[in-house]
Chains A and B, each alone.
Chain A
Amino acid sequence: MTSVTTTSQGQERHYLNAGYSIRSWLLTTDHKRIAILYLLTITFFFFVGGAMATLFRLELLTPAADLVSADTYNRLFSMHGVIMVWFFLVPAIPATLGNFLVPLMVGASDMAFPRLNLASWYIFLLGGLFTLTMMIVGGVDTGWTFYTPYSTAFSNSAVILAIVGVFIAGFSSIFTGINIIVTVHKLRAPGLTWFRLPLFIWANYATSVIMVLATPILAITLVLVAVERLLGIGIFDPALGGDPLLFQHLFWFYSHPAVYIMILPGMGVVSEMIAAFARRPVFGYKFVALSSVAIAVVGFLVWGHHMFVSGQSIYAGMVFSFLSFLVAIPSAIKVFNWTASLHGGSIALDTPMLYALGFIGLFTMGGLTGLYLASLAVDVHVHDTYFIVAHFHYIMVGGMVMAYIGGLHYWWPKFTGRLYPEWWGRISAILIFFGFNLTFFPQFILGYQGMPRRYHVYAPEFQVLNVMSTAGASILAVGYIFPIFYLLWSLRRGERAGPNPWRATGLEWQTASPPPPHNFERQPVVSGQPYDYDAVATEESLRDE
């Protein structure tokens, strides 16, 4: 064990001042530094993907083609999807917040396999470089779904580079998943039983199981697409004896669970923030914890609901529809329990809480519109229209991104040792909430009116709603840019946070902010229930007297 706790300048030694050289960052095996590396990388990709969205939202201001050509438009939305899904949403919470917090929350000094963890970032970076190369040579125009035979036989864009990028990035999420699972199983602090784990851990654990079990299917499917495209040998192309529906089955077998890879960790973040700012234990803790596992399991059985009008048998459609209704139940459990957790609390509307409450509202809408899509006859009408675009953005952006940014604010003091400026935080949270709704709510109506997705030009009657949506997107963009400035500002000027600025429970708050290189000066021991805010209150009132 290291006994050095101060640097030569007499400051407390922590993971940030443990070394300043580039080498100390690029060769680090400290999960906290790797989390920072991931944070920088995915923030970069978030803004790249966001810039593309800005461009095509501008194009959609008018029904005609005026800003970009049809080809450019197709490439923009395809790359927006590829980048946002695989280079932002999938890694966002597990690889940044998860990487940083999982060892802290279970009372471990690092991830189970620190070098694998670093390798996963390099693999991610390599995948990202392929994706950037793909963009530079002209981009990909298949949509993020790579449907065959368009992707294998017809597209004239950089499909192979895109596939290689996603394929490589897939291994980084497999490695992150393996690391989180083993860390949670094997490195928990003494006394930290499964049902004393924070819900963030449960959510990331369930996510990791999906990452480990679903990603390989995507990997091999993409290999087959690449083989068919490069060598012209038949796998999925009907002209060569193949079956394009087989591709869709394999693709969605990964990509539906991938939706849960994106949203489950967000649910974990929200559980933490609700408890901390309502100062109440999460209501129905076991139900919330186990519902994550239920979502992970049932989530593997519903992929066919992306294919109700694809020509798969209608009986298969009925089975998948039934299972899709079932998977809604655990999500409903979570929403009701979060709401109930507010009862009898002592609620403060700090920035993270604003994000958490925004998440509940938007996720509820996203989840409920999922039921419309699970309803076979309604899905026939709204499938591949703006309705579904709105639906998954409510889940992905309204849910996952809100939780992610909220979590970033909540744990910012732990990451950096400084507090972010509260008022700026609230302003941008509110801007994002309203901008988001103005962007995506009109798209529900557009979709039900029948506007198909991925349309570069559209019928004039759809224009009013499209203008609203673009207006909302510009507000949303401002909301996303604000935090960049005030968070950077807070690095030097922010108020010093101290170990536990929110007076929250959880092991991560029992060590210094920022934490020392090996997280805890002394091995923590857990003896009580999670989220025991009643005990915190009693203790504080005793101290005050």
Chain B
Amino acid sequence: MNERPAALGHPYDDLEQQRDAATMGMWLFLATEVLFFGALFVGYTVYRIAYPQGFSEASRHLDATLGAVNTGLLLTSSFFMALAVWAAGRRRRRLVLLFLLLTMFLGLGFLGIKGFEWYQEFRQNLVPLPGLTFEAGGDFPQQSELFFNFYFIMTGLHAVHLLIGVLLVGFFAVLVWRRTRIGEAFIMQLELLGLYWHFVDVVWIFLFPLLYLLGGT
């Protein structure tokens, strides 16, 4: 009987089968994530159709420039993530480390800007929490509040996902830094992390126009 490769886990017969299974599992997990966010998108859309003026009024409070910068950051980070996977396949350890760090810093940059936006909204009394005053102004205060409820839940949930992503990328960077060699198992796991990272990116690609841009000028 052949020696089992170190990366091969129970209950698989060969690495390819294991890789296929892991990839499929990750896709299924991402499918559940799509539906998780999907329900929020549906809810948001229902209210947006019911309350068009209030939602566009509220949407104008958001800083579309910062949103656009953030979109750029995430897209670039996805690019570096893809490069990290590419470099790992070629066993270029230093390059992998570099690209992972770039991905992580762009992700952190996104979170920083997002946090700054939230702080701005807090300063402008746009946070609909008990104990805080909510003053969106305009003709439709209740509808604006509904908009901000969805805004904070959706961007908050997205930020949590991104934060998990940043932590994982950081963890992988530490692994690369401490190891001398890139193994099969690592490449497979990095590919899965890449899928997750791109997914979080894609969610933002939907969030950005829906929340920031559909308000009109």
Contacts and interface: CB of A to CB of B under 8 A. Distances in A.
Q: Tell me if chain B binds chain A.
A: yes
B21 A187 contact: yes
A112 B38 contact: no
A12 B129 CA distance: 63
A70 interface: no
B6 interface: no
B21 A182 contact: yes
A70 B3 CA distance: 68
Interface string A105-120: 0001111111010000
A221 interface: yes
A235 interface: yes
Nearest to A253: B39
Contacts, number: 107
A353 interface: no
A212 B146 contact: no
A248 to B, nearest CB: 12
A186 B47 contact: no
A377 interface: no
B188 to A, nearest CB: 13
Contact of B21 (A112, A216, A234, A235): A112
Given A186-B20, A212-B32, A241-B146, A232 B130 contact: yes
B161 to A, nearest CB: 13
B40 interface: yes
Given A213-B32, A233-B145, A246 B46 contact: yes
B11 A250 contact: no
A241 to B, nearest CB: 4
Contact of A224 (B10, B33, B50, B153): B153
Contacts of B142: 234, 240-241
Given A114-B10, A241-B146, A216 B33 contact: yes
B129 A233 contact: yes
B77 to A, nearest CB: 25
B11 A108 contact: yes
Contact of B36 (A112, A178, A219): A219
B3 to A, nearest CB: 12
A217 B38 contact: yes
A54 B24 CA distance: 44
A187 B153 contact: no
A181 interface: yes
B145 A213 contact: no
A223 B43 CA distance: 13
A112 B43 contact: no
Interface in B27-66: 28-29, 31-33, 35-40, 42-43, 46-47, 50-51
A220 interface: yes
A243 interface: yes
Contacts of B150: 235
B146 A216 contact: no
B137 interface: no
A187 B39 contact: no
A322 to B, nearest CB: 22
A246 B43 contact: yes
A185 B130 CA distance: 49
A213 B29 CA distance: 10
Nearest to A227: B153
Interface string B1-37: 1000000001110000100110011001101110111
14 contacts: A112-B11, A112-B21, A186-B21, A215-B32, A216-B36, A216-B38, A231-B130, A233-B128, A233-B129, A235-B150, A241-B143, A243-B50, A246-B43, A253-B39
Interface of B: 1, 10-12, 17, 20-21, 24-25, 28-29, 31-33, 35-40, 42-43, 46-47, 50-51, 128-130, 142-143, 145-146, 149-150, 153
Pairs of residues from A and B, 4 with the lowest C-beta to C-beta distance, nearest first: A110-B11, A216-B36, A216-B35, A109-B11
Given A29-B10, A178-B32, 20 more contacts: A108-B11, A109-B11, A112-B11, A112-B21, A114-B10, A114-B11, A181-B24, A186-B24, A187-B11, A212-B32, A217-B39, A221-B39, A234-B128, A235-B146, A235-B149, A240-B145, A241-B146, A243-B46, A246-B43, A250-B42
Interface of A: 1, 29, 103, 108-114, 116, 174, 177-179, 181-182, 185-187, 212-217, 219-221, 223-224, 227, 231-235, 240-243, 246, 250, 253, 518
